[in-house]
Amino acid sequence: MGGIHAFTPMRRLFALLLMVALALPSWAQDRLPAGLMWNRSGLPATLPLVVKTMPGQDYVVFLAPTEGGDPVMAGYIRGGAFFRLLVPPGTWTVRFAHGRDWQGEDELFGPGTEWIGLDRPLTFEAGVARRQGHIVRLIESDGQVRVASSGPLDICQGLTVTTEIDKRDENREALNLLPAPGLQDLRDDFDAFPRSDFNRLPAPGLRRTETELDTRSRVCP
């Protein structure tokens, strides 16, 4: 009997942990993964939208045409976590639905769903060396979510060219490599002209070059 009673505290602890787990809010288990939900714009999404939020609620961001109509893109945001979404070029009306209990795309966060929108549309565009995105910061104050700040996020793209040159093989002629047919005749003909970088024929062992292009992006200063 003593062995049975020895496990009683452990069983009570397990039962307590089980009750706590069952009492956790269902939204913590049913939340969607953060990121793109859908893109119905028909355009490539290449421009950054960064949203900073506070923990406690989740959000869905919607992008819609400024002239009205259904949203063309949606993304799910987990409150308090870093969020970055690539969006298509254009000028879009941006709105956020937020709440705690995710009910699916039709019901969103159920009867407790609340909405907040930006005062002005956001323009996303790309140039040769610069991509223009936006960063939005949402905060919760006195139980109300509001837009704390909204501003441009410009990404500069730099192109780096790396060239590697092989060393000239000074002993190449020792390999008895024969020149192409007629090459010597061409050289004899060119002897009548002044030697320059424009009319000098390449000699055996010409250096070989390899060029690599590296495109990197960074936040513009």
Q: In the numeric block, which tokens belong to residue 208? A: 């070989």
Maximum Cα interatomic distance, the chain, rounded to a whole number of Å: 116
Q: 141 forms bridges with which residues in the sheet?
A: 144
- The yes or no reply on domain 26-159 and CATH 2.60.40 is yes
3-class DSSP state for residue 11? Answer: helix
Question: What is the reported pLDDT for 208?
Answer: 54
SS3 156: strand
Q: How confident is the model at residue 217 (pLDDT cuts 50, 70, 90)?
A: low
Question: In 10 A of CB 116, how many CB atoms?
Answer: 15
Summarize pLDDT for 144-175 with one digit per residue, the tens.
Answer: 999 999 999 988 876 555 556 555 555 544 44
Asked if 87 and 73 touch (Cβ cutoff 8 Å), the reply is: yes
The pLDDT of residue 75 is 98
End-to-end CA distance of the chain: 74
C-beta neighbour count of 36 within 10 angstroms: 14
- Give per-residue pLDDT as tens, 108-135: 999 999 999 999 999 999 988 889 999 9
Averaged pLDDT score across all residues of the chain? 77
Q: What is the pLDDT of residue 186?
A: 45
Domain(s) of CATH 2.60.40: residues in the chain:
26-159
